[in-house]
Amino acid sequence: MKFSAREDVAAPIDKVFAALNDFEGFERQAMRRGAEVQRVDPLTQAGVGMRWKIYFKMRGRRRELDLELSRYDAPNEMVFDVASPGMTGTFTVELLALSRSRTRMALALHIAPLTLSTRLFVQSLKLAKSSLTKRFKLRVADYAKTLEDRLQRSA
């Protein structure tokens, strides 16, 4: 199952990529929403091999997620591999410079079930795919607008 969205940001590609590299900020956001986030790699700079263990509650159960940065092509692309006990997936962030001051940000999430119970869960998601896709696109649009505002204030 795949979700994808594209948004244009009124900022140069380098600044957008730098903002997307604020991994500590994303960790803090996840913790504010109730997740436990642990960085489990020794790297000091952003790059391939960065890993996180994430624990969160969903549908009344504690879930575990492993996230690893598997491709890092500054300032164009980042690909994260996602793994949990019942599911695998990839999260891709692609940036394209439309002009010196405008960047297209494309995000895609692809998930694949590994177990029967996860397959049933993904099937239930497919039934609500249009509303979930709409919510995903709204979240990406909101993030792009927030990012644009923040980058314009700091310029």
Q: Which residue has the tokens 């960085």?
A: 39
Q: What is the pLDDT of residues 103-143, one digit of tens each?
A: 999 999 999 999 998 999 899 989 999 999 999 999 999 99
Q: How confident is the model over 56-114, as pLDDT tens digits?
A: 998 888 999 999 999 999 999 999 999 999 999 999 999 999 999 999 999 999 999 99
Contact 141, 7 (CB under 8 A): yes
CA dihedral angle for residue 116, residue 137, residue 107, residue 110, rounded to 10 degrees: 10
pLDDT of residue 144 exceeding 70: yes
Indicate yes or no: pTM above 0.85: yes
- CATH at 41: 3.30.530.20
CA distance 15 to 50: 21
Q: How many domains does the chain have?
A: 1
Instruction: Give me the domain span that covers residue 148.
Output: 2-154
- Residues in CB range of 85: below 8 A, 6 or more apart: 64, 114, 115
The pLDDT confidence band at residue 155, using thresholds 50, 70 and 90, is: low
